[in-house]
Amino acid sequence: MKYQRPMRVGLVGLGTVGTGVVRLLETNRELISRRAGRPIEISAISARDRTKDRGIDISGFQWFDNMNDLARSDAVDIVVELIGGSDGPALSLAQTALGAGKPLVTANKAMLAHHGMDLARLAEQAAIPLKYEAAVAGGIPVIKGLREGAAANEIAHVYGILNGTCNYILTTMEKAGRDFGDVLKEAQALGFAEADPTFDIDGIDAAHKLSILASLAFGTQIDFDSIDITGIRDVTADDIREAAGLGYKIRLVGVAENGEDGLFQRVHPMLVPVGHPLAHVDGSLNAVVAKGNFVGSLFFQGAGAGEGPTASAVVADLIDVARDEYGDPFAMQVAQLAQQPKADSGKRAGRTYLRFIVQDRRGVLAEIAAAMRDAGVSIESVIQRGAQQDGSVLLIIVTHHSAESAIRQTLDALSGSDALIAAPMVMHILD
């Protein structure tokens, strides 16, 4: 072995992932030691409740009531942060660990999305690793794939399904023909969705991950605040059914591209062609697509969350640190990362799915068509469903390739119309 002394881990957070890390290090102890070139052992832990039964034996670990004391302890060589949250205790712990010269492994995408550049600077100054494979797409090695495997490539774009809760809800709606609210309650009962699912269903969790992927892919500074975010609350069973009839499946997709006009980042429901790999990513799985100028398209798919997959990613980072295999957190030094302006999405062009719920009366379709004509939007197809008991009519319009600014102009023109019973649903088509 290269080293005889074990690498001593200070583990903060004993939730699902934290207990998974303990189990994994114990179960695969010998294998991990051989692959790391030295033993990796937990020496200290900190969590909210020392007396809680977590199904693991923690009696052999030094307990710290104060997590920052753990980070500064001479009994700890490396700190693993698994408590979550963009600010507060998690950020304080990360700053303390890096400030004390201790490498940091984290699964905290929210903290990285908001403070990743500052933490990377601290790691650079101390010449120590900051590792976060588990922060994006759980057990899928997409961070390593982009930072190392595709390091020689210029990446044109990166996109994918980045939230397992939303994917579970959408694919269940698709298979069972059920409404969003009903499936959400089921997902909460089964543990696929949190009691407060806001971060997931409103697209915020996916946006945190997208901001990190964009930085790695394009060599740009993380810019979470510039991401346009739309969640899945307004996707209906009607949308799922109509999309299927048109040859598409609806997925929440995060998209990032870096061009001459700036950095484009968006998370929103999209219509994905049934022949596209993302259309076949079901349940709580995640998937990421990246396109390099020499390597071509790369497709990563797997479990995006859960005890085993996420713990696997955390321990993989620990093994890298034990081997002294690590580089700059975001593939280059922070000073080399470009600070790109936000790209104008209005200049983007593509096909768009528009769903209207309108009054059942003459002239409504003509009114909508006139607004689209005046904005320069060409209609590819129209689907109209019969009047419902409440007197509403479902109207689906798919456009030809049109500038997104023209779509917005159309909707602005219709915003005051009493023919519209509800706000239109806009979903771009992944072509």
* Residue 38 CB partners (closer than 8 Å, separation 6+): 1, 2, 3, 4, 5, 6, 7, 322
CA dihedral 332, 338, 339, 340 (to 10 degrees): -130
Residue 75 in tokens: 């009994």
Which residues are known catalytic residues? 209
Would you say 63 and 46 are in contact if contact means Cβ atoms under 8 Å apart?
yes
Name residue, tokens 């929210």. Answer: 110
Instruction: Give me 349's structure tokens.
Output: 């062009």
Q: What are phi and psi of 225, to 5 degrees?
A: -65, -20
Q: CA–CA separation, 315 vs 40, rounded Å? A: 9
CA nearest 300: which of 133, 55, 172? 133
- Torsion, Cα of 114, 90, 314, 20 (10° steps): -130
Q: How far is CA 123 from CA 104, 113, 306, in A?
A: 9, 16, 28
Structure tokens at 354: 């528009």
Strand blocks (E) in 6-103 = 7-12, 40-46, 62-63, 78-81
**Taking a C-beta distance cutoff of 8 angstroms, is the pair 352, 272 a contact?**
no
**CB-based contacts of 125, cutoff 8 Å, min separation 6:** none
How many helices (H) and strands (E) in the chain? 14, 18
